[in-house]
Structure 1
Amino acid sequence: MNNQWMKRTLLAVSIQFAIGSLYAAETEASADVVADQAASTDNASSATSSQTAPVANVAQATEDVKINKDETKSLVPKPGTQAAEALQKKEGDASQETNLQEVFTSNERQYSLIKKGEFSTFYDLDYSYYRDSQLNLGINEGTAYQLRVDEDASHTISNTFTAQYGIRDNLTFTASIPFIAKSDSLKDATAAGLGDINFGARWEPFPLKAGRLPLILFGSLSTKTGDSPYEINPEKDLSTGKGYYSVGVGASTRKYIDPVVLFASVSANYGFKETGLNQVRGGGNANGQGGQQLGQRTLEEFDPGMTGGFSFGFAYSFNYDVSMTMSYQQSFNMNTSFTYKPYPGATNQNPEKYKAADQSSGMFSIALGVRVNPDTIVNGTLGIGLTEDSPDISLGLSFPLDILGFGKKKAN
């Protein structure tokens, strides 16, 4: 048994030794072949160089070497690559700053001016929705009865046509004519007609200068061409205007910080007092039309007081065609008062003056601007009311009328 294992072991060692010897022989032969090939290549290269050197010298002596510029590598990106498209400016495209300024001012026109002699028109379609709950009850000897909660919802649609003309490069005149449509669920009434016509001007007192924020001053005059809320039956009718004249002033500025435009403005409005009114509050008028006349007070004077406000926000351009504007507006109404004359037969015949509580209105707005052609930008706006005196929601659409064929007149 031991003899058999010894034979097998000796046979395995012999086979391993033979294979190792053959592998070593092949390795040495391969190395010799590689060395011989390298030596042959070096000799051939030396011979070729020695043979071609005179020819090269002759060619260099007889003519200059010409460089093919088409085959020379360049740092300029090849046409069709992404880098080339990024560097190449398409015809009609504006720079990022110019494009953002155009988109921003198309939606926030009070922050811009137009050149002398230019004329442009715009159309604005706005919708606002108010919802409120009114609690109606009677109190007798400290006990409430006839409790009823009335849900009131009002809808207002405004169609405004605006024209602006550049009197000078730093002075722009504007005028707007609104057409209003309203409906009220509690009164079960509707109204439609002309609103309050407005006139305005924007003036830039200082020329643009590097390192200085642009300043634009603006003023406005609002008429009372719409139906006054103080000359109708307040129980049954709806108004299309505010019912008094007002003037306003303000200032605005903006700052371009890549890649956004920051803007802010402040304003103040003063409403002129309305006298000689003859509206019975609580129903009808002093001529016995509408409502229950007995014991009602008649509105004789109305003083709208002062209104102040501010706004700020930013505009951002996603690309050449699409941009977004976000803003917040806050307004305050102060010193509003009503003067009533006593009804016939009342013990106190002196006028009664009532001062209304101050009101505040806040609105957050998001606008999306889309460039439909190189010269036309359409803006859509969504507004969300943040206070009780604000619309619950508002929607807006604005675009220049040259999209409908009313061409924009440019200065010569």
Structure 2
Amino acid sequence: MKFCTIPFAVAVALTAITVHAQEQQTPAAPATADAARDALAKKEGEGDQSALLKQTLTAVDKQYTLIRRNQVAVTYDLNYAYVGEETIVTDIANGSATLFNIQNNNSHTVTNTFSADYGVRDNLTANVTLPLLSRYADTATRSGMSNSLGDIGIGARWQPFEARRDQPGLTLTGTVRLPTGRSPYKIIAGTGEATGAGVGAATVGVNVNKIVDPVALFGSLNYTMYTPAKDLWQVNGSRILTRVQPGSSFGFGMGFAYALSYGISTTVSFQEAISAGAKLRFADGLEAKTHLQTSGVINFGLGYRVSPKTTLNFSVGIGVTPDSPNLMLGMNMPLSF
């Protein structure tokens, strides 16, 4: 409900009109239900909850809604991730373990991502992402910071069926990630931190969302395959690493967005990725395989609609498995207002 203050001149005019009406003894028109509905109805320009939820889904995940044909959307994402762990260094002698010390390993990563989406068709959107990373690591043996380009991504989103309000929306996705960042397999110890995965990757997925005002439900499934890192010559302890074949990974996610008002929405989601062990090959012929890894993160988001076409999104992610980042902070904003 909105309250306003009436200027003095207007108040005087309204008083005169009221006295004149009483002198004429003209009965006032009775209030009707239609008039009440018109007074309480959403005014033009206030926005719509469905539109807000769609914008929130697009900004948070950039997979659930598409843009129109020949339109271009440019967005900026700022993300921070912290990983902290304690490593217990022990020595095994005569069948017993002796504790030496506990090492703290910390990593801080700030990622600036610029992404551009282009509407090839009304149901097909192509996109390119350009990440710029700043990573600082502090361990018992070294500490340092690196600033470099990350892994560039090229992808597309396709909606095979027309979106309808009373039916779930289905989106198929495909992304190719190029190993343009600093590879962790080619860095000499003490020369900096990796800003990329060191291998190429291809991801296919499917996303489903259903809007039931004022709530939107969404879920996703994806599968990722990696190319091997060949022709390496990295000293790893007493051996030299020559080849790495990362294991494929399977991921899923689910959550909901809730519109608190025409300008504020919240999101809660859970994402998990299960990665098979990587195969390592060394120069002396030894081959080894790492263990299966599981990464799970709970995300809390807030969307603030600053205009009918612009929504700012903020998120906080908390890792719930040992293989996950401890804390993640994110902000998403469109560059074209």
Aligned to 1:298: 240
Tell whether the 8 Å contact from 1:234 to 1:281 is kept in structure 2 after alignment.
Answer: no
Distance 2:219 2:136 in 1: 34
Which has more strand, going by share of residues?
2
Aligned to 1:130: 83
SS at match of 2:255: strand
Which has more helix, going by share of residues?
1
Aligned to 2:227: 272
After TM superposition, the structure 1 = structure 2 runs for residues 167-206 of structure 1, keeping only pairs within 5 Å, are 167-186=120-139, 187-206=142-161
Superposed displacement of residue 157, structure 1: 0.5
After TM superposition, the structure 1 = structure 2 runs for residues 12-411 of structure 1, keeping only pairs within 5 Å, are 71-76=28-33, 84-87=38-41, 89-142=42-95, 144=97, 147-186=100-139, 187-209=142-164, 211-234=166-189, 237-282=192-237, 296-342=238-284, 351-403=285-337
Superposed displacement of residue 312, structure 1: 0.5
Superposed displacement of residue 190, structure 1: 1.2
Give CA-to-partner distance per residue, 1:52-103, whole Å, 9 cap, x none.
xxxxxxxxxxxxxxxx99734241576xx8x65422x322133332332233
Tell whether the 8 Å contact from 1:382 to 1:393 is kept in structure 2 after alignment.
Answer: yes
Counterpart amino acid of residue 373 in structure 1: S
Tell whether the 8 Å contact from 2:277 to 2:293 is kept in structure 1 after alignment.
Answer: no
Superposed displacement of residue 375, structure 1: 1.4
Give CA-to-partner distance per residue, 1:26-57, whole Å, 9 cap, x none.
xxxxxxxxxxxxxxxxxxxxxxxxxxxxxxxx
SS at match of 1:97: helix
Distance 2:80 2:233 in 1: 31
Tell whether the 8 Å contact from 2:167 to 2:210 is kept in structure 1 after alignment.
Answer: no
SS at match of 1:110: coil
TM value normalised by structure 1: 0.72
RMSD, aligned α-carbons: 2.0
Superposed displacement of residue 144, structure 1: 4.6
Identity fraction in percent: 34
Distance 2:166 2:265 in 1: 26
- Where do 5+ consecutive residues of structure 2 fail to align? 1-24
Superposed displacement of residue 336, structure 1: 1.6
Give CA-to-partner distance per residue, 1:133-176, whole Å, 9 cap, x none.
11223334345557011111110100000000000111000001
Larger radius of gyration: 1
Number of aligned residues? 311
Tell whether the 8 Å contact from 1:114 to 1:169 is kept in structure 2 after alignment.
Answer: yes
Cα–Cα, structure 1 residues 279 and 74, in superposed 2: closer, same or farther, change >3 Å?
same
Distance 1:103 1:85 in 2: 28
Distance 1:94 1:270 in 2: 41
Cα–Cα, structure 1 residues 297 and 70, in superposed 2: closer, same or farther, change >3 Å?
farther
- Where do 5+ consecutive residues of structure 1 fail to align? 1-67, 283-295, 343-350, 404-412
Aligned to 1:26: none
Distance 2:54 2:262 in 1: 11
Distance 2:45 2:26 in 1: 32
